Amino acid sequence: MLNNSIFEKQLNQIQIDLIELALEYAKYTVDTVYIYGSNERNSVFFNAFFKEGGVITEKHKLKVFGSNFAPIELQMKFLDLGMEDFKDLCKLFEIYQGKTLTQLKLVYDVVNKKAHANYSYDSFLSDKIIADHIFNQWIENERNINKIDT
């Protein structure tokens, strides 16, 4: 029981850190944050996208950055910090769950202050499918869902 409460506390803190990092990057101007992490085939991947004004938007195209894309240095810092948090999350699962986390999809609804996370231990990557493909497919899926909702 004690180990489970320690796990839950640390899990919640890492999720909060990831969400806060994304919100800070977007200067708190977005409606929803979508965070993706992959840990498979000796490769770790982290990225995020957002819903801004009802539109699914990639991190470098947020309105807060004006007509220009987000500065590369800012994007790289965001990805580096997110990668470190995601690696911490993977270590946490290995220590307390005895399993290797392969995928995280974390969604934070800023308006309603609600988070939902999907964790997986399944294999998703192959010689033809890389984490970036899965991430981009998630963006497209959310865009399609968004079209239906509007």
pLDDT in tens, 86-120: 999 999 999 999 999 999 999 999 999 999 999 99
CATH architecture for segment(s) 4-141? 2-Layer Sandwich (3.30)
Q: What is the mean pLDDT of the chain?
A: 94
Mean pLDDT along residues 1-25: 92
* Per-residue pLDDT at 1: 46
Sheet of strand 114-120: strand arrangement = 55-58, 43-52, 32-40, 103-109, 114-120
Compute and round to an integer the Cα radius of gyration of the chain. 16
**In the structure, what pLDDT confidence band is assigned to residue 16 with cuts at 50, 70 and 90?**
very high
Instruction: Please give the model's pTM, rounded to 2 decimal places.
Output: 0.93
The distance of Cα 120 from the centroid of its chain, to the nearest Å, equals 13
pLDDT at res. 2:
53
For the stretch 121-144, what's the b/e string if a residue is b when 16 or more beta carbons lie within 10 angstroms of its beta carbon? eeeebeeeebbeebbeebbeebee
Characterise 134 by phi-psi region: left (phi > 0), alpha (psi -120 to 50), beta (else): alpha
Task: Read off the pLDDT of residues 59-80 as tens digits, 9 standing for 90 and up.
Answer: 999 998 887 788 999 999 999 9
